[in-house]
Amino acid sequence: MHKQTLKLRRVAIDTYHENVAYLHRECEVYRAEGFQALSKIKISANGSKILAVLNVVDDDAIVTPLELGLSEQAYHQLNADDQCQVCVDHAEYPASMDAVRRKISGERLTLEDFTSIVDDIAESRYSKMEMAAFLVASGQNSLDRDEVYFLTRAMLQSGQRLNWAEPLVADKHCIGGIPGNRTSMLVVPIVAAHGMLIPKTSSRAITSPAGTADSMEILATVNLTPGKLHDIVRKQRGCLAWGGTARLAPVDDMLISVERPLGIDSQGQMVASILSKKLAAGSTHLLIDIPVGPTAKVRHMRQALSLRKLFEFVGDQLNIHLEVIITDGRQPIGRGIGPTLEARDVMMVLENNPKAPEDLRQKSLVLAGRIIEFDPDVRGGSGYAIARDILDSGRALEKMNDIIRAQGARSFDFTPGMHSLEVKASRTGTVTAIDNLHMAKIARMAGAPIDKKAGVDLIRKTGDAVSKGEGIYRIHAEFISDFEFAKNLVAQKDGYTIGNEEDVNRHDGFL
Amino acid sequence: MHKQTLKLRRVAIDTYHENVAYLHRECEVYRAEGFQALSKIKISANGSKILAVLNVVDDDAIVTPLELGLSEQAYHQLNADDQCQVCVDHAEYPASMDAVRRKISGERLTLEDFTSIVDDIAESRYSKMEMAAFLVASGQNSLDRDEVYFLTRAMLQSGQRLNWAEPLVADKHCIGGIPGNRTSMLVVPIVAAHGMLIPKTSSRAITSPAGTADSMEILATVNLTPGKLHDIVRKQRGCLAWGGTARLAPVDDMLISVERPLGIDSQGQMVASILSKKLAAGSTHLLIDIPVGPTAKVRHMRQALSLRKLFEFVGDQLNIHLEVIITDGRQPIGRGIGPTLEARDVMMVLENNPKAPEDLRQKSLVLAGRIIEFDPDVRGGSGYAIARDILDSGRALEKMNDIIRAQGARSFDFTPGMHSLEVKASRTGTVTAIDNLHMAKIARMAGAPIDKKAGVDLIRKTGDAVSKGEGIYRIHAEFISDFEFAKNLVAQKDGYTIGNEEDVNRHDGFL
């Protein structure tokens, strides 16, 4: 009897959240083309099994006819030794695709359905196509609020959960979409200096020019082991760490890797994503920031209100104390966009530098004040003043420096990328609008967040007077190809609207 | 100024209907990781442009830091010389994804929307994820009949269209799902022998164990140039060719490559797919076969009727004479399942071999009779008798041999695959049901359609008496690994139900 095994080979291709297997067209054991139309195969070695999309190879330098190649992701997931013997089999559909097909037909799914879907995704049994099918089927408003609760619970159960063994674990989260909005790096030191526990774990940017983890990484190590994280939080009452090492709600990251490139957004997915992550991080008291503005994720107050209700409903079911704050999302916050430039703005605020961006300072104080009022010993309405005292007295800066040292200080300077262009005002007048999406895209094209020093530095903001030819912002890049991409984008559109003073929409009564 | 180009390299990886580009992580011109989260990049060379999904490579043997690799599909689409200089840029979303997002929100789309979606897919601007999003959004019954008509028109416009310059160009199409249902190979010679034009272009199997093109290829060349196709049809009045070379409604094939692995089926997509292909092939008179049965694609008569109405509506809009026939789809047709075994059944019927499968003969005569009645000179109701005379007299066999010679006869024998297993009845009784899906899957596992001689040969059919231990069917495989896959599947379930004679559902009054 023929032995149906192939030798495992690691293929140094990074297929980004999708398992890919490489089989030679002339494979001596399996008929590569017979598998291909069915798209997925099952690979087993020493009791470990994975599913992978099949690519057929005609080059022995990649895999020989006696080998099975696995992309980096697939290789790590299989967790077997290079050169070991592997078996290949036809893959069955993930069982939960049946529930996805029922959702496509408009059925309501149960907790068990969502649990089986999330488990299959967690085990990498879904291809990107299948994840897209699930996201589209549960997109827009096709999940009712009970289904959002079920999905949140299923995502929460799929990963690790941190336990801080304290009755009040504070956290904050912004739904995103506003460049420069680096408030966490101010809120955490203020709240921790007040003595409340605020163990903040953040993500890196996925499609935005910087996440909190990317900016914090300018100042300190953010990649901390769970043991070190606990030590720091116990001593400092707060941290600003990357959440990736803790495997909190891992399915969320996988869904986001499909959802973002598709550009589909759904309130239900967003709520489940945020709440499962925060509950997994052990939070008991959570402040959610929903910025509203014409180029923000949420564009109308009524949409912000319905999102707030959904957060509240699911939060109540899951027994987390949750408050929602609706903020002004009409333009970027602060001046810098990109990891280094945003870290610079944060440090200027902490240092009470008179040139620090006032909007970043004000917003952070409001958010910190709301969190401080979670403290049962704080009188309602006095949180803002407490936060301001902590910041003005330098105690917030001191706490930030303690956290930086505890996590591991990095040597840094705030010099932005060497390739630089000052973009000029196209006319004389008043800046009446700045497009969040476009400014984020320019910073992204310039290389942020991969190039820490790349990004955009705003010179003028909404309401400012400008003369034709005066600088409105600067682009910074480290890599010439990225600098060209950013310049080409600005040449198409600079993202600023300049008009008459009376056109500035001044009802900034959001806060 | 740095020159932002890379050297093109063909990477011998077959990524099956998806463009993939390979960029070295240490690429000296572009920041590979900066592109990756956004998933797609634009590649240009000498005025030609393609979009591709990006994979990041860490092995110089695949691509060096100065090269850009393209998978086979992408390389062919770019159509540039190996080693030529290429530029990379950020890819914009395909503009029509906006329409897909509107469909996800439940909007009705216009002809212009469908045209832009189909054009973007035709130009490979959609990733598989994006195609999945479109399919799910327009799946189930979310397309109304006008939208199905728009989609059909858009798909028709996206490819070539054959013109036979005759007023009556007959064609037939079965919606599929019934193994062994190789009626086209009988209908074409009968109808062509009657003198009607029937230029049949067929597909190869995608997820079934054999398509008409796969079976016909046992006997003759099916891969014909458009010129040769026209010559043969003019002389023989018919052909049995593979439709792939003619680039008829190419988007259909791309959508099917995503739809089938996802297991999502939609009436609207099916109607648009079939009608666009048939209209592109130049048909003026079309007979559609809808088999109904518990393991067929259509499981209830009411579903068959609503599908018939949809075919009729869209056919009328597009000015094709269309008739629908609802047939018995409760078990496989004929005895063989797999290219060689099905070709053998067909030739036995043509040769009037008394052992030829009677159900395949009867069904083919009924279909051929209905098509012959498209002939204005044929009296209503006399088509069946004409078809039978043509078959019984040997004229159909003669025509088939003419067509085989014209296309290019291949030497063949009908010996099935050497690895063979006779599956035995698990009890004594009467065969009450045979599972179409399961028999197709067994044949597929055994290696069909890639291995022409692989498949299943049925010994007993519904209504036949069997004793425990008697053979009910044989599996044939050429490759030992496939033989094992098929045997493992049969060990789980053999696909036959054996019960009492009175349990056989005898209302075969479909025809």
Q: Do B25 and A14 touch (CB under 8 A)?
A: yes
Burial A88-112 (b: 16+ CB within 10 A, else e): bbbbebbebbebbbebbeeeebeee
- Mind telling me the catalytic residues of A? 265
Q: In this structure, which topology does domain B170-245+268-407 adopt according to CATH? A: Pyrimidine Nucleoside Phosphorylase; Chain A, domain 2 (3.40.1030)
**pLDDT value for A371:** 98
Residue A101 has its nearest CB partner, among B31, B72, B263, at B263
Q: Which helix (DSSP H) or strand (DSSP E) does residue A20 occupy?
A: strand A20-24
Q: Do B13 and A57 touch (CB under 8 A)?
A: yes
- Rounded distance, CA A352 to CA A361, Å? 9
Query: Looking at beta carbons, which residues of chain B come within 8 Å of A417?
Result: none
CATH 3.40.640.10 fits A170-244+269-407, yes or no: no
Q: What's the average model confidence in pLDDT over B141-147?
A: 90
Residues 6+ apart with CB under 8 A from A390: A190, A193, A194, A368, A396
Q: What's the average model confidence in pLDDT over A272-285?
A: 95
- Rounded distance, CA B443 to CA B242, Å? 22
Residue A264 has its nearest CB partner, among B55, B133, B207, at B133
Nearest to A88 by CA among A66, A117, A64, A58: A66
Q: Do B262 and A133 touch (CB under 8 A)?
A: yes
pLDDT in tens, A340-390: 999 999 999 999 999 999 999 999 999 999 999 999 999 999 999 999 999
Q: What's the average model confidence in pLDDT over A70-87?
A: 91
CA A501 vs CA A320, A332, A506: distances in Å: 44, 19, 10
Query: Looking at beta carbons, which residues of chain A come within 8 Å of B209?
Result: none
User: ∠ CA(A208), CA(A424), CA(A330), 5° rounding?
Assistant: 45
Q: Do B58 and A12 touch (CB under 8 A)?
A: yes
Structure tokens belonging to residue A473:
């912002």
The C-alpha of B486 sits at a distance from chain A's nearest C-alpha, in angstroms, of: 10
Identity of the amino acid at B362: Q
The C-alpha of B4 sits at a distance from chain A's nearest C-alpha, in angstroms, of: 7
Residue B207 has its nearest CB partner, among A13, A38, A137, at A38
- Rounded distance, CA A127 to CA B396, Å? 47
**pLDDT value for A1:** 39
Query: What DSSP character marks residue A162?
Result: -
**pLDDT value for B322:** 97
Query: Looking at beta carbons, which residues of chain A come within 8 Å of B482?
Result: 31, 34
pLDDT in tens, B190-202: 999 999 999 999 9
Query: Looking at beta carbons, which residues of chain A come within 8 Å of B40?
Result: 261
How many A/B residue pairs have CB atoms within 8 Å? 187
**pLDDT value for A29:** 84
Q: Is residue B261 reached through a cis peptide bond, with omega within 30 degrees of 0 on the bond before it?
A: no
Q: Do B261 and A137 touch (CB under 8 A)?
A: no
Identity of the amino acid at A466: V
Query: Is the model more confident about A47 or about A490?
Result: A490
Please tell me the pTM assigned to this model.
0.86
**pLDDT value for A505:** 66
Whether residue A68 contacts residue A86, with contact meaning beta carbons closer than 8 Å, is answered with yes
Q: Do B34 and A261 touch (CB under 8 A)?
A: no
Q: What's the average model confidence in pLDDT over A180-189?
A: 97
Whether residue A304 contacts residue A292, with contact meaning beta carbons closer than 8 Å, is answered with yes
Query: Looking at beta carbons, which residues of chain B come within 8 Å of A136?
Result: 104, 132-133, 136-137
Identity of the amino acid at A113: D
**pLDDT value for B434:** 97
Query: Is the model more confident about B81 or about A320?
Result: A320
CATH superfamily of A419-503: Pyrimidine nucleoside phosphorylase-like, C-terminal domain (3.90.1170.30)
Q: What's the average model confidence in pLDDT over A458-482?
A: 96
- Mind telling me the catalytic residues of B? 265
CATH number of A6-90: 2.40.40.20
Statement: residue B509 has pLDDT above 80: no
pLDDT in tens, B323-358: 999 999 999 999 999 999 999 999 999 999 999 999
Nearest to B511 by CA among B297, B294, B366: B366
**Pair type for strands A67-70 and A285-292:** unpaired
**pLDDT value for A510:** 45
Q: Do A62 and B62 touch (CB under 8 A)?
A: yes
Query: Looking at beta carbons, which residues of chain B come within 8 Å of A2?
Result: 480-481
Q: What's the average model confidence in pLDDT over A124-143?
A: 87
Which residue of chain A has the CA closest to B32? Answer: A450
Q: Percent of chain B at pLDDT above 90?
A: 76
The C-alpha of A418 sits at a distance from chain B's nearest C-alpha, in angstroms, of: 15
Q: What's the average model confidence in pLDDT over B436-456?
A: 95
Residue A431 backbone dihedrals phi, psi, to 5 degrees: -70, 115
Residue A129 has its nearest CB partner, among B38, B258, B451, at B258
- Rounded distance, CA B157 to CA B149, Å? 12
Residue A481 has its nearest CB partner, among B4, B13, B20, at B4
Query: Looking at beta carbons, which residues of chain A come within 8 Å of B440?
Result: none
ipTM exceeds 0.85 = no
Q: Is residue A199 reached through a cis peptide bond, with omega within 30 degrees of 0 on the bond before it?
A: no
Q: Percent of chain A at pLDDT above 90?
A: 76
Q: What's the average model confidence in pLDDT over B278-304?
A: 95
Residue B129 has its nearest CB partner, among A72, A206, A262, at A262
Q: Do B62 and A61 touch (CB under 8 A)?
A: yes
**pLDDT value for B37:** 61
Residue ranges covered by each domain of chain B: 6-90, 170-245+268-407, 419-503
Confidence band, pLDDT 50/70/90 cuts, at residue A38: low
Q: Do A132 and B137 touch (CB under 8 A)?
A: no
